[in-house]
Amino acid sequence: MVGMYFPRTLSRLLCIGLFTLLSPAGVTALCAQALTGHKTQNVIVVMIDGMRWQEVFRGADPSLLETLGSEMPGDAKQRAELAREKFSGSTPAERRQTLMPFLWSVVSSKGQLFGNRDLGSDSHVINGLNFSYPGYSETLTGVADPRVKSNDNVPNPNATVFEWLNTKPEFAGKIAAFGAWNVFDGIFRSKQSGLIVNAGYDAFTAIPPTPKLELLNTLKRETVRIWPDEAFDPIPFHTAIEYLEAQTPRVLFLGLGETDEWAHAGSYAEYLNAAHLADDYLRQIWELVQSMPEYRDKTTLIVLPDHGRGEGSKWTDHGEKVPESMQTWMAFLGPDTSASGERKQAEPVTASQIAGTVAALLGEDYRAAVPKAGAPITDVFGK
């Protein structure tokens, strides 16, 4: 039993049962270790839409830096040249450190990263469609449901692990989701789940207004909308941060979208800029939670995309006809995650395992309620 993981509720039941079989002193010591060894009390999930594993592990691809985007406003060549100056390096290790410094300083030294196929680590989605709604749904429900086959903003046929956790007294009202894409309303079933969900350009009014929230809501109304269904990433990020500081939720979701949008637009420079900003947002989140007693040393951060992208000239695309776009990556950082860094020759992991992993990190057994969900990734919470 020592060294194995059991959900916290199951651990308590096992401890009660063991008192009938073993000496009280032995059981007390064993159970104290099992119940106190688990440290995560809060989980933050950040998803970076359509962010390729290639850039995460290799940095900017020099052969793609001239991909300008035929319909991009302004001087596309100048934009590409600035990206070359900012994100170039002589080796993949240098380039990835420049592109995503938080991942390759803090997470790589204190957490774990999966998905570097150059080192035999495989991370992927299993839904077979390789686009956003199926990817988010698989990740957040643990199930690749064939009924989820479009990006239409309709209610998810399955409850997310967030909704499931919200039915438990210790988490009820302490869960929220923020996203750049308005379809998160449907993915999280905002009208029936009871969750706080703020997506796209919707004003956020779930908590008393602050000057910062009023400004964010004003920007939602007044900024230029390049994508009618998706706000620029600073909007959901800063809204989520304002909520986190005010309400200290137990479970928080943040969905960033600019990486996917700029890739579809064909601008490799802006795709890189969005990835770099997303990495800095991860840094800001981590530094903030480590500065707050409610979160310090008891919060796990999970980061991943909803799908990958094609290779070479197909880097802008993803979907069923681009099989490489099933390839993803994952990163974990928290008090129950050993500092294994960049995983090598690891067992494959899938997006369908994230829901169970979120629950397990919080001491709950999601798979007991949803048997079709992927099994938790025990490597990230078993030291």
| pLDDT in the model for residue 237 | 98
Instruction: Assess contact for 220 and 231: CB atoms under 8 A.
Output: yes
Instruction: Assess contact for 276 and 258: CB atoms under 8 A.
Output: no
Distances (CA, A) of 334 to 100, 128, 300: 18, 30, 4
Given a cut of 50, whether residue 21 has pLDDT beyond it is no
The token pair that represents 139 in the structure block = 């990740």
Q: Give 198's strand partners.
A: 178
Q: Quick check: helix, strand or coil at residue 15?
A: helix
Q: Which residues of 309-320 are buried (b: 16+ CB within 10 A; e: fewer)?
A: bbeeeebbbbee
- What pTM value is reported for the model? 0.91
Domain locations in the chain as residue ranges: 1-37, 41-380
Look-up of token digits 């002193």: 25
pLDDT tens track for 177-234: 999 999 999 999 999 999 999 999 999 999 999 999 999 999 999 999 999 999 999 9
Residues 362 and 62: their CA atoms lie apart, in Å, by: 41
Q: What is the phi/psi pair of residue 316, to 5°?
A: -80, -15
Q: Which of 249, 241, 254 is nearest to 175 (CA)?
A: 249
Look-up of token digits 């009202």: 173
Find all residues with CB under 8 Å of 348, minimum gap 6, and list them.
122, 123, 124
Residues 60 and 315: their CA atoms lie apart, in Å, by: 12
Dihedral (CA of 68, 71, 72, 78) sign = positive
DSSP assignment of 286-353: HHHHHHSTTTTTSEEEEEE-S----SGGGGG--BTTBGGGGB--EEEESTTS---EE--SPPPEEGGG
Give the CA angle between residues 110, 288, 60 to the nearest 5°.
Answer: 55
Given a cut of 90, whether residue 7 has pLDDT beyond it is no
Residues 174 and 176: their CA atoms lie apart, in Å, by: 7
Percent of the chain's residues with pLDDT above 70: 89
> In whole angstroms, how large is the CA radius of gyration of the chain?
21
Domain 41-380 CATH superfamily = Alkaline Phosphatase, subunit A (3.40.720.10)
Q: Quick check: helix, strand or coil at residue 196?
A: strand
> Quick count: other Cβ atoms within 10 Å of Cβ 176?
26
Least confident of 16-30, 70-84, 173-187: 16-30
pLDDT tens track for 56-69: 999 999 999 887 77
